[in-house]
Structure 1
C-alpha cells in the first residue's frame, strides 16, 4: 500500500513523468509506494482533475526486464479496470495510458478514503474516554482518586486503632501504613471503563448508518468477485467514499471529513481503487483470501468497529449467487484457521 504524503508540489522532489513535464498547473504528489507514485493533475483540463499513476524505471533491474514488467503491469491494470467498468463495478475510469512510459491516467475520485470516513464517524459519534477533553478526564480521575483515598484512609485508621488497642501493631508503624500508595484506584477505574466499553460496543453495533456502510462495502466486493476479479490488497484505504452530488447543480460536494470542522458523514458511493495487485480469478480460495485480507486490515485499522464486520459478509452474500457465496464463506473459515495457526507458530 502506498504511503500517504502531505499534498505538495513536487517539481523539484522527483523527476516528473514526461507527460506532466510541461503541465500548465504543477501536479501534486499524493502518495509514494514501492512500485510507483500517484499524482493529482489537471493535465486534461484546468477544471477537471485526474489521477496519474506512474511507475518509474527501476535502476536495479535490467532495462529490458524492467520495460517488460512495467508494460505488462500497466496493461494488466488497465484491462482489469475496463472489465470492472463493463461489469458495473465502481472503479475509476481510464482516460489514457502509455505502457512504454509507465503511466496510467485515471478519473479523479473526490471524497475521503473509507478508512478516514469510518474513523471520523467513530470519533464524532462514539467518542471514547481517551477522546474526551483532557481537563474533564483529569478532573474525573482526581475526584475518583481522592474519594477512594479518603475512604481507605478512614478504613486504615479504624483498623489500626483496633490493632493498637489489642497491642498487635507498634505505634511507629501507623504512619508508614497510612502513607502507602492507594492500590484500589486502578481497579475501580478499570471496572468503570469495562462497563462503559460494553455500552459503547452496543451503540456501535446498533449504529444504522455505519451498518449500512459496512453492507455497501461487502456488496461492492461481491460485485468485484462476481466479475471474476480479486483485488489483492483489499483495505479501507483502497476504497473511496465519493460524496453524493448536490441537488441543485449535480456536482459532487467538495467538503471532506478531513476538513477542519467538517461534520462526519457516511453518505455516498464506494469506489474501489489501486488495482496494482489485482488479478483475474474465480477461485473460491482467491476470493476467500481477498476477504481475509480485508478482515485483518479492518481489525487493525478499526478495532472498535470490528463487531460490524459480519455486516460486510452479509452484503457480500447478497451480491453473489447463493451457492457461490456459501462456498466462498466456507472457504474463508479454512483460511482463518490457517491464519491462526500461522500466528501461533510465528
Structure 2
C-alpha cells in the first residue's frame, strides 16, 4: 500500500483491491487516551463512518463504494474515485458561470438529501467533494467526522463549515455559495429553519473572530 494522505484521525493508502483501484483508510491509536477507551472509540468511529456511507448510497448520494471493513485493524477499504476535486474544478472554471452554477446545483441538492437523512458530514470542504470522471456526478467523500443528528443547529453548522471553506479557498465565491443555499432551500423540507439558524451561527462566528 502507498501512503497518499495523513490527517489528524487517519492514514489513507492507495492500493488495488481484487483488481479495483481502491483506498484503505486506517484510523490509528490516540496515545493520549486510555488504550481500552481508545479502542472502543476508534471502532465506533469506523462503524459510524461506514454506516453513513451506506445510508448515503441507499439514498442515491454518490459516495465511494464500500469494499470491506476490517474492524480489528480499524481499516475501511473503499473505491478510489477517478476525477477531480470541486476545489480544482472551480479553480479551473472561475470564469464559466454556467459550469459554476451547475456545480452549485449539484452541491445544494446533495446536501439537502444528506440532511434529510439526518447525516451531518462534519468536514464539508471543496476538497471533500469530487467530480466523478466517468459520469460527471458529484461525489461526497471523507465521512470520518460524520454523525447522525436531526438538530437544526448541527445542519446549520455543517453549511457554515462549507461556507468558510468556500470563502477561504475560493475568493469572491459568496455568490456561488448563495446559489448553493438557494438550491438547498428548494430541496430541503427544513431548509428555512436551517438557514435561519445559519444566520445565528454566522453571527457567533463573527463575534468569535472579533474577540480573537
Whole-angstrom CA distance in 2 between matches of 1:325 and 1:56: 37
SS at match of 2:172: helix
Match of 1:241 among 131, 135, 148: 131
Q: Which has the larger radius of gyration?
A: 1
Does residue 228 (structure 1) correspond to residue 118 (structure 2)? The answer is yes
SS at match of 2:21: strand
Whole-angstrom CA distance in 1 between matches of 2:205 and 2:128: 22
Q: Which runs of 5+ in 2 are unaligned?
A: none
Matches within 5 A, 1:163-182: none
SS at match of 2:18: strand
Aligned twin of 1:132: none
Contact 1:67 1:100 (C-alpha < 8 Å) held by counterparts:
no
Contact 1:288 1:335 (C-alpha < 8 Å) held by counterparts:
yes
Match of 1:84 among 46, 56, 74: 56
Match of 2:36 among 58, 64, 88: 64
Alpha-carbon offset, residue 60 of structure 1 = 4.2
Richer in helix (by share): 1
Aligned twin of 2:9: 35
Whole-angstrom CA distance in 1 between matches of 2:159 and 2:35: 36
Aligned twin of 1:50: 22
Alpha-carbon offset, residue 219 of structure 1 = 1.0
Aligned twin of 2:210: 344
Shift in CA distance, 292/59, structure 1 to aligned 2, threshold 3 Å: closer
Whole-angstrom CA distance in 2 between matches of 1:28 and 1:338: 41
Alpha-carbon offset, residue 57 of structure 1 = 2.8
Q: Which TM-score applies when normalising by structure 2?
A: 0.94
Q: Provide the aligned length of Structure 1 versus Structure 2.
A: 212
Q: Which runs of 5+ in 1 are unaligned?
A: 1-26, 127-203, 246-267
**1:316-345 Cα shifts (integer Å, max 9, x gaps):** 112212xx1111111111111111111111
Q: Which TM-score applies when normalising by structure 1?
A: 0.59
